[in-house]
Amino acid sequence: MPSVNYIQGDLFTKAPQRSILAHACNCQGAWNGGIAVTFKKQFPSTYAKYQAYCQKSDARKLLGTTLIIPSTPTDPGNHSPELQIVACLFTSSGTSANRSPEDVIVTATEKAMEDLYRQLAQNEELWDNLGVESIAELELHMPKINAGLFGVPWGKTEAILEAFPIQSNVYVIAE
């Protein structure tokens, strides 16, 4: 049964190559705070695609969805020919200063995870790229999503991940 697995260390150095790296995003096309800044530095090609996607989309329709973006070989976060995939979970309409209310973020997180699963279940080419033969073999790698600048108590997001049918590896840095 999939669950939440905690890994001590930095997501960007500890997650295996050829992984799905997920993080909570706003619907405004801005990765200007928290761990999103590191995603932007490590995977600039995915940031450009995320930003363009947000600019052409209605932000109200993005909330509770997921955008899956394969990185490119030139992204600094790729340390081998095997490329990372970034999953943008649209959990807040606004940025941290204008974030959605906590209950909206929690509901949007559940919907975004459902959308992620639906997309993954339909994309066998992605399984091949990740070196797995079925969706049951997939794992997500992420920070404690929503718990930083979006201000949601971790236990609320953790409960959603515990019910998710794919293993979630959550990276934590010792304080």
Q: Which residue ranges make up each domain of the chain?
A: 4-172
The whole model's pTM is what?
0.95
Burial class (CB in 10 A: 0-12, 13-18, 19+), 58: exposed
Q: In this structure, are strands 4-8 and 66-70 parallel, antiparallel, or unpaired?
A: unpaired
- CA-based max dimension of the chain: 42
Q: Which residues pair with 92 in a beta bridge?
A: 26
Q: What pLDDT tens digit does each residue of the chain (175 aa) get? A: 568 999 999 999 999 999 999 999 999 999 999 999 999 999 999 999 999 999 999 998 999 999 999 999 999 999 888 889 999 999 999 988 899 999 999 999 999 999 999 999 999 888 888 889 988 899 999 999 999 999 999 999 999 999 999 999 999 987 6
Residues contacting 151, CB < 8 A, separation 6+: 96, 99, 102
- Phi and psi torsions of 145, nearest 5°: -60, 145
> Is-contact 104 98, C-beta < 8 A?
no
Closest by CA to 45, choosing from 23, 75, 89, is 75
Q: Which CATH number is 4-172 given? A: 3.40.220.10
